[in-house]
Structure 1
Amino acid sequence: MGAEQKKFIAMRPISSSSVWLMAAFVGYLCSMAGAQDARLVILPDGGNIIRPVGANIVLTCKGEVPDPELISELRWLGPNGQELPNGDRISSEELVSDVGRILFIKGLQEADSGKYTCSAVYTSSQRLEAHVNLTTIVGITWEDAPTEQSAIFGQPYKVRCVVRANPPATIDWQKNGVGFTTNNQYVIENDGVLIREVSLEDDTYFTCRARVQTTGQLEDRRIRVEVFIPPEFIREPVNTSIVEGEGGYMECQASGKPDPVYTWLDRNNQNLNLNRERFIVDEQTGRLTINDAKRTDEGEIKCLVENRAGKIQKTAYLKVIMKPVVVEYLNASGIMGREVSLTCKASGDPLPEVTFLKEGTLIPYTPGVQNSDDRIIVDTSREGEYAQARLVIRDLMRSDDGLYACIAKNNGGNYTKNGHITVEFPPSFALSPMSEAWSWDNHLVNLTCRAESIPNATISWFLNGRNLENDYNIRMNAFNGESTITVTPIDLSYYGTYRCLATNIHGKDEKAIELREARAPGPLLQTKFETITATTITFNFIGPVDNGGLPITAFAVQYKLAGQVWDEKPLQRVWVVGGNEYYDMHDSIAHANTDIPYILENLEPQTIYSFRFAAKNQVGYGEWSREETHTMPKRAAPEEPYIIAKTENKVVSTPYPDRYELLWSAPPNNGEPIDYFEVAYYPVRNTSAGLIEAGQLVRTQVPYPANVRFEMKNLKADTIYRIELRAHNVIGFSAPAEILLRTAKDAAAVEEEDLSATISPRDPASPSQSAVKAGTYVIIGVIVAVLIFIALVIDVSCYFVNKRGLTYMICSRSGRNKSNGRSSSNKNAALMEGGKEEHNDEKTPLREVTVEFQDACRETPCAEQQQQQQQTTQVDQPSPALINDDQKELIKDDVTDINNGLKKSASKSSVAKDSPV
């Protein structure tokens, strides 16, 4: 349209009809423009969608139009052009907040592939459509590819791996992570890899790998191949025998993979594994244990072994042994000098051997005549299902009487049954030892005789030809061949010879018993007063010549104070002869007495007693001896104690290197009670002059009556100790009891010596170690002697020149000691007389010794000595340097005898100072 026309139109007046017409035209043009802009959109965007089978998908169709209200008939059409119905797997629904429709497809299938169309009508005339292509693919799926597979050794096997995929997948294989292709051992096929012959190397992992190039999908499956090995016997079952009623086992062991299973079948193919009471199968070894075997178990037994690779079996025979049983065995009797026999029958499978064994012997009889005694014969035979043996003894003797065991023996064991042979014989009094008896004062007495006989004998008693059956003073009792009469000798007519007469069907015999009248014993021949202390007297007795016909049973003493009369109940003590008891009439109590000879105790010191003595037997006390008077000593220190120890060559050895327990018995106290014991000991060594002190003295007190033992500790190993033991009361000390003790070698030192002897044996051609050591000691001794000699020369020079030095000091001390000796002796004598003693409980009394050291020999060779201040020191009174002069024999390392080494008197040497003894 030109400009002029536009201008004309604009300038032309417009009518109302024209305005409406123009408006309608403009609306049409607008509607046409909106119809051309309307369309449907499918989300997800894109014309092609690929999804795997089994997946879920949702498609959304939305309308993009100017006026959504003008859209109608919105729906989804499937690949076949038909509207998709609503179902469980495929369904559709409208959008709530917008114009559109949603399509749901669950579990996609291959048939769901194709073009899907969303269709709608816009403005009632315009049809709108949108399309999408859905492609379903099949992912890699393992249809037949178990992760655990098994193959049998030596056989072909295919490792299965069947894969399903769309598009199809490509398959390759790996073994232990290393790829492989078809070769002599493996053949790769569509459904797996074929192993031509399975070996143990194939017991491993195979990998089946699948890939799809078009989709880029990759999957692999690791397959464990386990190679099974068929069972093979390691130990086959063998024929076995088991004793009836006992247990046993049968072996059946095999190898294989997996572990084989064992099944045992009896002769009737019954599974023995099910009878768990008597049959037990070891699942690991296959052993069949049979308990309480029965006769019905006998027969063939089969062992079946199987696993997943195969099975094997083996049969063996089970033999059930029947134990032997003695079914018939009877006692027998015979007469001495004639013949007797025993017959024994026994059963068993196998048939047993039968023999005999006499009680008290060790070796059974053998078939036939016995070499040790041709009177005895054994015959054996078979009687049907029984084994039989017959024992025959000719010329029967009494020693043949007794038990005879019948012994039946086979592989199942032994069976023993006892039978008895009784030998009949006439009476005999060989085992009746009684030949005399004693009685007195109408005391009852039993006279017994025992007659051996089979059958038992009838016994009668006679005195001087008179049958005693009806004598009222005699009671008779008979039992099992033994007869006893109890006699009451009311007068002398019942003393005499009694005759016991035994009779049976085979003979008779008699026994004589003399009944004598007993008396009290005669007077003692001698009484000795062995030892007298302040409170005790030790006696020894010589018995009487006439014991009254009975043994002396005791010795007795009666005693009283001098001047008193013998009353009806004097003080008395009785000692049982041969026993350890005495009876005190003073307190009527039986006491234990282990002292021999006999000791009378609890007497008063310094008192005069009168004594008389008698012997005693069952009749009573004999005649008392004439009176003897003795005065008891005054109170004094205790007697010497007795050390309880086992000595060898007068030396006690202890098995311990560092300790010893000293034991002793308390001595008589001599009128005053013992309050303690003193133990003193010190080591000694051997010299040419005897034993001398070689170490520290140890002294201790042991309270009494609390103890009669003391343990010495911290001793030196392999050392000789001298030990003194003294008892103490208020008066003083007893004489010392002495022993020498050798301690054992230290165990470590002994082991070291043994080790050195083992490692370094002596060479016979070279000097011995002891010789070398002795040579060394000699050299050292010479050097020491030279030095001592030089010192003595210098000291003597000082003495003579300036009156100084050790020699001068010793000489001056010796003079002072001589002047003081008499007063010291007088003091000790006074102590002895008064019965008192000053005693240091802790150690030996000490005395003050003053030693002066001054400048000496200022102008002599000893001028180098320095002047020292005056010193006062306590020095222990030295113990005797030597044992008495009569101890000259040395104690060697091998503990030689010490002659006269230890005195047992009050004059013996002691380690205690100022002892009252």
Structure 2
Amino acid sequence: MYSRCLKSILLTFVVGAAVFQPGVEAAIDLYPSVEQYLAVDASFSVTCEVPGGNNPKWYDPSGREVLSLSQPGFDIRRYVERSDAEMATLWFEQIMDSDKGTYTCEFGSDTATIKIDVIEPIDFRNTPTKQHLIRGEDGFIVCDVTSYPLPLLTWKFNNFRINEDQHYDMEEGGLKVNSVTMSDKGTYTCVARIKETGDVDQKDIEVEVYELPVFQQTPESTSAVEGRSSQFFCKASGIPAPTIMWQFNGAAITPNEKYSIAMAGNGSSVLNINNVQSVDGGDYNCRASTPIANINASATLLVYTVPEIGAAENKTANEDDEVSFKCTVTKGNPPPTLSWTRNGQIMKFGVQPSDPRIEVSSDDDDLVISIDDVRGGDIGAYTCVAESFAGRTTKDFFLNVEHSPYIDSAKTPSVVLSWLGHPTPMKCVAKSNPAPTMHWEFASERVNNSRVTTLEVNTYESTLAVMPSAKTNFGDYKCVAENDRGKIEHTIILEETYAPTAPDQIHVRDTTQTSVTLEVEEPDSLGGWPIERCKVVFNEGTNGPQVREVFIDGTKLETDMTFDGLNGGTEYTVTAACSNKVGYGPPLSPSVLFATDDYSAPDAPSIVSKANSMSADSYVLMWEIQDDGGSPISHYELTYTDNTIGDTSTAKIIGDISSAVTQYTLKDLKPSTSYKLELKAYNQQGAGDAATIDITTAKGSGGEDPGYLNTAESTKSAFALLLICIALFFQLSMT
């Protein structure tokens, strides 16, 4: 704003003197007469007056006369104007820097001079309004000011004047701040003052205090398996917070399908590398940048690649030839281990123990499998396996062997069992290369489709289905396979089978009123098949009706088996017939005769409770059921007698105890008393034998049981207790 003012007005005057000859009185007056400081584009005039003179003249700093408006060739910006003969006024319009210098008014031998200076306003030309210092270092706040005359500079910090001391040095071009701290952040004001003109201007500078960036965490070298992902971590701090970017082999990384970058507010960054490939191996650099510094930290990614195997060479060989396959790895880091497998089985290095014709060997870095004396069974895939912790790769090498037919014994039987009327398929599998033609022969004649035989032929197998209708349909069937390399024949015997013969014998091992235990012996002839099951039939008496039919598994033969559901005191006959795939054979004849036991009263129960009761007035009697005599137990009867009395006429009888229970509780017994207990079981035949036990009840709570005290003692005891109660009552009343 000061500079604008200086363009229109005169600011400062300094004394200038007219130049006189020594000893001569001044004859020229200048108005004004002092040195002038004028702004560019300002207008100014100075008047030269010579009393009694006539037409004084003005000369510029180069000594040329300044012309008046009436003179040809005058300068419209700088000219002389005369109001009368004694005065000459020098005018300046839109003064320029080229106008500065000393101007002289001359009259005769007298002269007077005035100096014109063109001032330059205060200009903060290269003074950024935002600057920074670095914590811990010496800093410099730039204030680049130009003016003419030169200005004087002073400084303020947050509106307080700065004095030069150990922390501040006022230097040319700015302010030096020593050992910067965070408290040096704020507003600095650079004040410029021109002493000669009094012009003052100032500029505010916002100063930030920065910290150099440092790494809190640097990326670490790592490794990754091809096809997987990998990460690098980086964290940096500083003021202002640094900007983190990633580089790969010196080139900036931008997020895409390959790279993703995750930033966090705490200055950390994560670089994710997706679907790592071998070309991704190299140096990854984390660059943390602030306006004052860049720092870098690098790490290396080592890529482990999944092995790759070169092209497989499939081969065709003849029988007895020698053939080999070579497995070559074309890629893989780390170098993989190689192996050969056949049908999923790893083949050992060297000669194979199971087949000395086959050997696995090495050829530099390749693995070779060699087969001598090639056979038809060698046809198929030989798999090379390349494996490392980076992954596993396999490649099949196929061997085709042209050979004469051979029979696949694992799929082709030598004997097939059948029986009359049963359709029976016989499969013959023959391997050869080229594929064989196949047919069947029986009794030296070629077999064709007929009522008895049906043929089905595929590439490497032929199935002959035979429906035996007569014994002549059984015998040797010949499978014939041939190609241009040879011929092979294989005989399958169709063997007739039969139903089993009758069981050899039935043995009666034990009987009860309702069951029998038998052993059925295996038939002498099984008929060619295992026994599947047998049917056991019971008849009442020798010629009575069938009463039971039971099927048993063939594995139960010649073991003891118990059959229930029979009646007591009854004769039965039993027979059995067994079956296999063909059917049932004849039953055992004659049948075996046996009789069940007669019905009887139940056996005595088995008492299992202890003789001593835990209670003084009760006892829990427990028992186990024994043989019921062939008919269900209807109820139990319990008799108990006080042994201390010894009179059986006092016995007490409980005669309706349910057959569904196996324990009973006697109550209202006397303490410390011996009792005799008798327990009987009843069925339709009546009462069985009694089970007996002598028991003793426990003592009463008063030690000697009151039941054993005589009447006099009982009376004394009662009277004594009464006296004690009366005494206690009166004692309580007195208190």
Tell me the TM-score normalized by structure 1. Answer: 0.45
- Contact kept, 8 Å, 2:533 with 2:579, in 1: the verdict is yes
Provide the residue aligned with 2:538 in structure 1: 559
**Candidates 708, 713, 724, aligned match of 1:853:** 708
Provide the residue aligned with 2:296 in structure 1: 313
1:572 maps to 2:572: no
- Residues 486, 609 of structure 1: CA spacing in aligned structure 2 closer, same or farther, 3 A cutoff? same
- Residues 518, 277 of structure 1: CA spacing in aligned structure 2 closer, same or farther, 3 A cutoff? closer
1:731 maps to 2:633: yes
Partner Cα separation in structure 1 for residue 453 and residue 138 of structure 2: 113
The answer for unaligned runs of 5 or more in structure 1 is 1-147, 161-168, 209-222, 382-386, 581-594, 641-677, 685-691, 701-721, 735-810, 870-917
2:549 aligned partner, one-letter code: Q
**Candidates 496, 505, 510, aligned match of 1:526:** 505
In proportion to residue count, which structure has more strand? 2
Deviation at 1:542, TM superposition (A): 0.8
Deviation at 1:348, TM superposition (A): 3.3
1:476 maps to 2:476: no
1:627 maps to 2:605: no
Q: What is the 5 A alignment of 1:609-758?
A: 609-617=572-580, 618-633=582-597, 731=633
1:260 maps to 2:224: no
Deviations 1:852-871 (A, max 9, x none): 42379x9xxxx9xx9799xx
Deviation at 1:152, TM superposition (A): 1.8
Deviation at 1:351, TM superposition (A): 9.9
- Contact kept, 8 Å, 2:383 with 2:397, in 1: the verdict is yes
- Contact kept, 8 Å, 1:365 with 1:378, in 2: the verdict is no
1:405 maps to 2:383: yes
Partner Cα separation in structure 1 for residue 440 and residue 343 of structure 2: 36
1:854 aligned partner, one-letter code: L
Deviation at 1:263, TM superposition (A): 0.7
Q: What is the 5 A alignment of 1:99-118?
A: none
**Candidates 207, 210, 214, aligned match of 1:232:** 214
Q: Give the SS at the match of 2:528.
A: coil
Provide the residue aligned with 1:249 in structure 2: 231
1:813 aligned partner, one-letter code: T
- Contact kept, 8 Å, 1:537 with 1:599, in 2: the verdict is yes
Partner Cα separation in structure 1 for residue 613 and residue 159 of structure 2: 95
2:295 aligned partner, one-letter code: I
1:392 maps to 2:370: yes
2:406 aligned partner, one-letter code: P
Provide the residue aligned with 1:285 in structure 2: 268
- Contact kept, 8 Å, 1:427 with 1:503, in 2: the verdict is no
2:504 aligned partner, one-letter code: L
Deviation at 1:262, TM superposition (A): 0.8
Deviation at 1:459, TM superposition (A): 3.7
- Contact kept, 8 Å, 2:387 with 2:393, in 1: the verdict is yes
2:480 aligned partner, one-letter code: L
- Residues 497, 273 of structure 1: CA spacing in aligned structure 2 closer, same or farther, 3 A cutoff? closer
Partner Cα separation in structure 1 for residue 245 and residue 396 of structure 2: 46
Deviation at 1:416, TM superposition (A): 1.6
Deviation at 1:536, TM superposition (A): 3.8
Deviation at 1:439, TM superposition (A): 3.8
The answer for unaligned runs of 5 or more in structure 2 is 1-129, 143-153, 189-204, 637-641, 656-675, 720-735
Q: What is the 5 A alignment of 1:527-546?
A: 527-546=506-525
Deviation at 1:529, TM superposition (A): 3.1
- Contact kept, 8 Å, 1:157 with 1:195, in 2: the verdict is yes
Deviations 1:501-526 (A, max 9, x none): 34344544433333343333323222
Provide the residue aligned with 1:877 in structure 2: none
- Contact kept, 8 Å, 1:427 with 1:507, in 2: the verdict is no
In proportion to residue count, which structure has more helix? 1
- Contact kept, 8 Å, 2:405 with 2:483, in 1: the verdict is yes
Provide the residue aligned with 1:548 in structure 2: 527
Q: Give the SS at the match of 1:547.
A: coil
Partner Cα separation in structure 2 for residue 174 and residue 438 of structure 1: 119
Provide the residue aligned with 2:644 in structure 1: 813
- Residues 295, 638 of structure 1: CA spacing in aligned structure 2 closer, same or farther, 3 A cutoff? farther
Provide the residue aligned with 1:503 in structure 2: 482
Partner Cα separation in structure 1 for residue 504 and residue 535 of structure 2: 14
Provide the residue aligned with 1:98 in structure 2: none
Provide the residue aligned with 2:445 in structure 1: 466
Q: Give the SS at the match of 2:369.
A: strand
- Contact kept, 8 Å, 1:246 with 1:291, in 2: the verdict is yes
Partner Cα separation in structure 2 for residue 452 and residue 539 of structure 1: 54
Q: Give the SS at the match of 2:708.
A: coil
2:288 aligned partner, one-letter code: V
- Contact kept, 8 Å, 2:425 with 2:466, in 1: the verdict is yes
Deviation at 1:335, TM superposition (A): 4.0
Partner Cα separation in structure 2 for residue 232 and residue 355 of structure 1: 49
Q: Give the SS at the match of 2:317.
A: strand
Partner Cα separation in structure 1 for residue 367 and residue 316 of structure 2: 18
What is the aligned residue count? 521
Q: What is the 5 A alignment of 1:577-596?
A: 577-578=554-555
Partner Cα separation in structure 2 for residue 698 and residue 630 of structure 1: 47
Partner Cα separation in structure 1 for residue 272 and residue 549 of structure 2: 82
Deviations 1:682-707 (A, max 9, x none): 8x9xxxxxxx999899989xxxxxxx
Deviation at 1:305, TM superposition (A): 0.9
Q: Give the SS at the match of 2:213.
A: strand
- Contact kept, 8 Å, 1:328 with 1:346, in 2: the verdict is no
1:156 maps to 2:58: no
Deviation at 1:229, TM superposition (A): 2.5
Q: Give the SS at the match of 1:622.
A: coil
Q: Identical aligned pairs, as a percentage?
A: 22
- Contact kept, 8 Å, 1:731 with 1:835, in 2: the verdict is no
**Candidates 332, 340, 344, aligned match of 2:323:** 340
Q: What is the 5 A alignment of 1:860-899?
A: none
- Contact kept, 8 Å, 1:521 with 1:623, in 2: the verdict is no
Q: Give the SS at the match of 1:493.
A: helix
Q: Give the SS at the match of 1:619.
A: coil
Deviation at 1:402, TM superposition (A): 4.5
Deviation at 1:339, TM superposition (A): 1.1
Partner Cα separation in structure 2 for residue 172 and residue 317 of structure 1: 49
- Residues 446, 244 of structure 1: CA spacing in aligned structure 2 closer, same or farther, 3 A cutoff? closer
Partner Cα separation in structure 2 for residue 550 and residue 369 of structure 1: 45
- Residues 266, 496 of structure 1: CA spacing in aligned structure 2 closer, same or farther, 3 A cutoff? closer
2:137 aligned partner, one-letter code: Q
Deviation at 1:498, TM superposition (A): 2.9
Partner Cα separation in structure 2 for residue 733 and residue 529 of structure 1: 33
Partner Cα separation in structure 1 for residue 387 and residue 363 of structure 2: 13
- Contact kept, 8 Å, 2:420 with 2:470, in 1: the verdict is no
2:586 aligned partner, one-letter code: G
Deviations 1:473-515 (A, max 9, x none): 2222344544332223333322333333343445444333333
1:547 aligned partner, one-letter code: L
- Residues 694, 553 of structure 1: CA spacing in aligned structure 2 closer, same or farther, 3 A cutoff? farther
Partner Cα separation in structure 1 for residue 443 and residue 619 of structure 2: 81
Q: CA RMSD in A?
A: 6.1
- Residues 498, 355 of structure 1: CA spacing in aligned structure 2 closer, same or farther, 3 A cutoff? same
Q: Give the SS at the match of 1:578.
A: helix
1:292 aligned partner, one-letter code: N
Q: Give the SS at the match of 2:268.
A: coil
Provide the residue aligned with 1:775 in structure 2: none
Deviation at 1:726, TM superposition (A): 8.4
